[in-house]
Amino acid sequence: MGAAPLVVEVFVCFLLVLLLLHRHGNIFTSHPAVTASVLIAWFFSFVIVFIVPMDVSNTNFDQCVENCPINITINNGDCADCRRPASYLPQTVLEYFWNIVFWSSQLLTWAILPLLSSYVVAGEFTIRGKIKQSLIENAVIYGTLGALFGVLLIYIVASRNLSMDAIRVLCITASNTWGLLVLIFLMGYGLVQVPRAMWEKGNYSDTLTKRRFDVGKIKIELEEANEKLDMIIEEVRHINRIVSRSSELRPLVNIIIDKCPSLQSEDLANVDYDDYATRRDDNTISRSSLVTVHAKVKSTHANVHRCQVVWERTVNESLNLEDWIKMANTDMRGLSIQEKLNYISRVYVLPWYYKAIALLAAQVSLVIVWSEMLFSVKKPTLSICALVVKHIHSPAVIEVVCFLLISYMCLCAYYTIFKMRIFNYYYMAPAHQTDDYSLLFAATVLSRLTTPLSLNFLSLVHVDPRYNAELQTAFTTIMGSFEVIPFIAKGFNVYYPILIAIIGLATLFKLGSRCMAFLGFQMFVADDDVSLDMVEEGKALLSRERRLRERSETRQDNITRLREPRPAESHKVQSKSRDSTFDSDRARLLDSEEYDPTSSAIMSELNNTNQRKTSNKKPSGKQSLFDDV
């Protein structure tokens, strides 16, 4: 019975991670190595929300059995006063699982994922060349970091005479410390931003204002991406002209041309090389320069496509918000039942639902911040999370409460990873528009947060040997504690919660956005003139887009009416008015307000009608002797 819940939880977590990965990336078109690595890294980062509560309930049960009085009847090795959890597993099984999670995450975050990140952005033309370039780039970075860590490790070992087991715990502690420093900023931001995002989602007016700002911002990014793509295309055209057909670099140039967008690549691929018989190879063109151009073509083309998709999604969301706001100002009388239900859900139910979720999330954030500030106090216990878990005796309830708490902590920390953006190098775009490099970068950060987040949660609920020597979970058995490094053990518990509170207050007052806007970055600030101008520009773009879509719909309706069969009339009337029918159709189209001479559909309809008219005309001139008769 104990293994069944674990198998179900692991399977459910795997499916959820697979859906999340496919939402941002594309598991069918991405490189198989990238998909497998990201899937494993994300899976280990999300599965802790199921395994940590199980570890806590199992530890409480084992401790209850050890403290069972002798005079209490024991059934099947269990104390009568202790309830065995339905998901109970031996501690050795959980220790084996935590070993797999930790060492797999370390291997991914420090070796596999960095190598793959360099591999996917490499401009080399062969697999061997990409691997070589990836190894060289990572050897420089991680070689330097490894040398510094090795010197520090030798110093600590020599000064404290540590055993091999203590050295292992020291390495784990150092890795967890780095992850905790990253967790401070991510969770401090998410604890405030998650409730705020839910509250703003329930306020259509504020959400529409931000969407209009996003529309103007994305429009600028799209134009800049297209300009950059045009520059790259001109550079490729220049290379194509100066590299001769007999040059050894010609196959590489052809590969670059194939990666160009179809409209630009057609004229490049169909160049008549005989026109450039007097052409000579430019000495500035080398394999390394082609590698650089190849990398630019791949990244720029992907960026343009992503901007186009994000533009369409943002415009659709903004237009829907405008429709919902107009719906709230209309009268419900005269609507059908389905329209009334849609009206009630959009105007009344959803806004209050999001606001209720926001209030609940804000309360949980306050509880977690309070517990983070005071979890280092052992007696009396001031951490709210620890008090709640301590006074619950049902294993099932303990697992549910721990599941909800750690799930919310993961949501706040991971929300920041999926929402932040580092220029065009890292951007988690929806609708399968996230590139492989961004997926790998997110997987790297998530892998570094897996064990620190678990350690932080166990400290909040005081299921840790530092706060209760009798509670030794399978996680702490493998990971150890901070006691190996004195300055971390003494000072980190003081500065860690203070930093979380500082980051949370800075997020609450939007200090980060204001600083970024002051430095010239396009960040939304409600009382900033530049942001207000961008909102007005986005509003104008949305109005223009709505008019274009309405005209397109009207044009399609006109074309559909033209293609509909006309009512049958007498043969005599049809034969007389065949030419006039064509003229009336042309006149009706030309007089229409929605007529667009560049519309391919309308021009095709007119040409077809003209052909029918010409084919039905009687030939002029005498064809035989009896024509006059």
- Helical spans, DSSP H, in 480-528: 486-508, 511-518
pLDDT value, residue 215 = 92
Strand partners, 422: 426
In this prediction, residue 589 carries a pLDDT of 44
Sign of the torsion formed by the C-alpha atoms of 169, 172, 174 and 179: negative
- In this structure, is residue 272 part of a structural domain? no
HEC assignment per residue over 62-105: HHHHHCCCCCCCEECCEECCCCCCCCCCCHHHHHHHHHHHHHHH
Q: Which residue range forms the structural domain that includes residue 176?
A: 3-51+84-202+366-509
- Provide the pLDDT for residue 557: 79
Number of domains in the chain: 1
Question: Does residue 111 fall inside a structural domain?
Answer: yes
Q: pLDDT tens digits, residue range 563-577?
A: 776 655 444 444 444
Do the strands 78-79 and 421-422 form a parallel or antiparallel pair, or are they unpaired?
A: unpaired
Between the two ends of the chain, the Cα-to-Cα distance in Å is 104
For 415-563, strand residue ranges (E) read 421-422, 426-427
Q: Residue 58: enclosing H or E segment and its boundaries?
A: helix 48-66
Nearest by Cα to 89 from 113, 61, 112: 61
Instruction: Flag whether 173 is in a domain.
Output: yes
pTM: 0.80
Low-confidence ranges of the chain (pLDDT < 50): 263-265, 269, 272-281, 484, 569-606, 609-629
The predicted pLDDT at position 267 comes to 53
Angle at 240 (CA atoms; ends 234, 241), nearest 5 degrees? 95
